[in-house]
């Protein structure tokens, strides 16, 4: 165990020391559905939330718990909830606050899967997501009404790679009782949204936190810094009696356990009822990835910056998209909210449109051609013909995807090999 605030130590020591019966140092995979109660009193205390403990793996499990504690500590939060995917994390993060008839204000700059969830599935369930341009933070205030339950954004959204104005939007929401939920998938370690006023973080663990590309998972982290009861009519899910839990009012019921009303509700209501739990096996895989996350993020950043510089000097490249060459307000935000580097993503545009983009992708030898990001291996995709192909040309333009745009997720291979592969593929275009 550790009280350290340093990421390199947290990822190895927080939340677990060794197994009490066997002494095992690696976090064991507790591959069990159920946990035996000590006696009937113990069982009823657990069910009444008078004591926290393991009941059933759909709701909690010691392997998941070690992972949750480590990610919560990394973000400076008080508690976390691991779920089966990043998509489940985004859905739960909003469903924990917004009901039919409510709304959420979200940045337009989102991962496509999140966009679909917000624009279609949540809408069909009665929750309206209002999309606003994040370059002007006041857009969030303008879209707010008395049914707005949360603000939502990504720290480092691709393809534009414009860092979100975290503090500016958090400051608009807080006096109104509206929390800012940040998807920090693309910038773990590099950005700590809670330090800038965000209330909740979500992650796709599938990306950098895993890094190995073996498992799908998600995480919701509670900062513990948001007063859910300050404007009680704003957050009915946490301030009104919950019929499905003996009339518990979450802001009151869990007070003795700490400022964890939000994350407890997500666990004991949403996980209980919707069941998107991560398997102990996958939680174990994420613990393995997490152990090297600080080291890997440094390498991702270093290699991506070198790639951005190389591409900037190439005569077939018309534009490089990377925070290092942004200017004005965008650069200020990148430098305010990220430290230790600008992340592992780099975009660039080629003269010659779609044909050139596709030819480039087909000419790569070492890069993998996949839709994923954040793997230890370098990855590439041509969004106009794949991830963004269902969008109209106008929509593609609005999201920052031009015909010749290529997205790179730079891995941790030797930088010379990364650049050599890009160089030979550019020569073939």
Does 168 bind ligand PLP (CB under 6 A)? Our answer is no
Measured in degrees and rounded to the nearest 5, phi and psi for residue 255 equal -50, -45
**What is the smallest separation between the CB atom of 134 and ligand PLP, expressed in angstroms?**
14
- Out of 87, 139, 285, 399, point to the residue binding ligand PLP (CB under 6 A): 87
Contacts with 127 (C-beta within 8 Å, 6 or more apart), sequence order: 94, 95, 98, 99, 100, 102, 103, 104
Residue 347 touching ligand PLP (CB under 6 A): no
Interface with ligand PLP, residue 367, by CB under 6 A: no
**Taking contact as CB under 6 A, which single stretch among the options 94-102, 110-118, 169-177, 405-413 is the one that binds ligand PLP?**
110-118
Applying CB under 6 A, which of residues 111, 131, 152, 337 lies at the interface with ligand PLP? 111
- Scanning 96-156, the segments in alpha helix (DSSP H) are 112-116, 122-124, 138-142
- Tell me whether residue 111 or residue 151 sits nearer to ligand PLP (CB atom): 111
What is the distance between the alpha carbons of residues 333 and 183, in angstroms, rounded to a whole number? Answer: 16
Strand order in the sheet with 79-83: 79-83, 218-222, 200-204, 180-183, 148-154, 103-107, 128-132
Nearer to ligand PLP among residue 183 and residue 349 (C-beta): 183
Structure tokens at 396: 């593609």
Question: In what helix (H) or strand (E) does residue 345 lie, and over which residues does it extend?
Answer: strand 345-350
The reply to whether 204 sits near ligand PLP by the rule CB under 6 A is: yes
- Please state the closest distance from residue 409 (CB atom) to ligand PLP, in A: 10
Q: How far is the CB of 346 from ligand PLP (least distance, A)?
A: 15
Task: Please tell me the distance from the alpha carbon of residue 250 to that of residue 12, in angstroms, as a whole number.
Answer: 32
Q: Which is nearer to ligand PLP, 155 or 305 (CB)?
A: 155
183 makes contact with ligand PLP (CB under 6 A): yes
Determine if 113 is a binding residue for ligand PLP (CB under 6 A). yes
Minimal distance, residue 133 CB to ligand PLP, in Å: 18
DSSP code string of 154-182: ESS-TTTTPPP-HHHHHHHHGGGT--EEE
Q: Which of 154, 168, 222, 299 binds ligand PLP (CB under 6 A)?
A: 154
How far is it, in rounded angstroms, from Cα 64 to Cα 57? 9
Q: How far is the CB of 217 from ligand PLP (least distance, A)?
A: 7
Nearer to ligand PLP, 212 or 255 (CB): 212
On the 0-12 / 13-18 / 19+ scale of CB atoms within 10 A, 33 is exposed
The sign one gets for the Cα dihedral 308, 292, 67, 227 is negative
In the complex, the residues that contact ligand PLP under the rule CB under 6 A are 85-87, 90, 111, 113-114, 154, 183, 185-186, 204, 206, 216, 218, 373
């Amino acid at each position: 165990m550790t009280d350290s605030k340093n990421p390199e130590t947290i990822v190895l020591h927080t939340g677990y020391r060794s197994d009490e019966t066997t002494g095992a140092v690696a976090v064991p995979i507790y591959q069990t559905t159920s946990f035996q109660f000590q006696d009937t009193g113990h069982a009823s205390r657990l069910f009444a939330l008078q004591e926290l403990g393991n009941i059933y793996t759909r709701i909690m499990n010691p392997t998941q718990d070690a992972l949750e504690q480590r990610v919560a500590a990394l973000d400076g939060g008080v508690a976390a909830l691991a779920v089966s995917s990043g998509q489940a994390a985004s859905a739960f993060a909003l469903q924990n606050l917004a009901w039919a008839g409510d709304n959420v204000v979200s940045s337009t700059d989102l991962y496509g899967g999140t966009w679909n969830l917000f624009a279609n599935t949540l809408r069909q369930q009665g929750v309206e997501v209002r999309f606003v341009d994040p370059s002007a933070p006041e857009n969030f205030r303008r879209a707010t009404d008395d049914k707005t339950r949360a603000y939502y954004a990504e720290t480092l959204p691709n393809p534009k790679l414009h860092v979100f104005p975290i503090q500016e939007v958090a400051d608009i929401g807080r006096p109104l009782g509206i929390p800012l939920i940040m998807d920090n998938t693309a910038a773990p370690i590099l950005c700590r949204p809670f330090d800038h006023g965000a209330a909740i973080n979500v992650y796709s663990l599938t990306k950098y936190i895993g890094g190995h590309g073996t498992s799908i998972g998600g995480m919701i982290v509670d900062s513990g810094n948001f007063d859910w009861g300050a404007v009680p009519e704003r957050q009915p899910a946490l301030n009104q009696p919950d019929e499905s839990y003996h009339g518990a009012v979450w802001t009151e019921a869990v007070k003795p356990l700490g400022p964890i009303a939000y994350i407890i509700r997500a666990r004991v209501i949403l996980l209980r009822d919707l069941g998107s739990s991560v398997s102990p096996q996958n939680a174990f895989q994420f613990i393995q990835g997490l152990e090297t996350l600080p080291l890997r993020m440094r390498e991702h950043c270093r290699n991506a910056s070198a790639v951005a510089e190389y591409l900037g000097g190439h005569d077939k490249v018309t534009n490089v998209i990377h925070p290092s060459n942004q200017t004005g307000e965008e650069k200020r935000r990148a430098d305010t909210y990220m430290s230790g580097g600008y992340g592992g993503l780099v975009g660039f545009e080629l003269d010659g449109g779609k044909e050139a983009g596709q030819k480039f992708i087909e000419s790569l030898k070492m890069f993998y051609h996949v839709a994923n990001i954040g793997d230890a291996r370098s990855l590439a995709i041509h969004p106009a013909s794949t991830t963004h192909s269902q969008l109209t040309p106008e929509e593609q333009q609005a999201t920052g995807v031009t015909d010749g745009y290529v997205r790179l997720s730079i891995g941790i291979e030797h930088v010379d090999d990364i650049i050599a592969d890009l160089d030979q593929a550019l020569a073939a275009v």
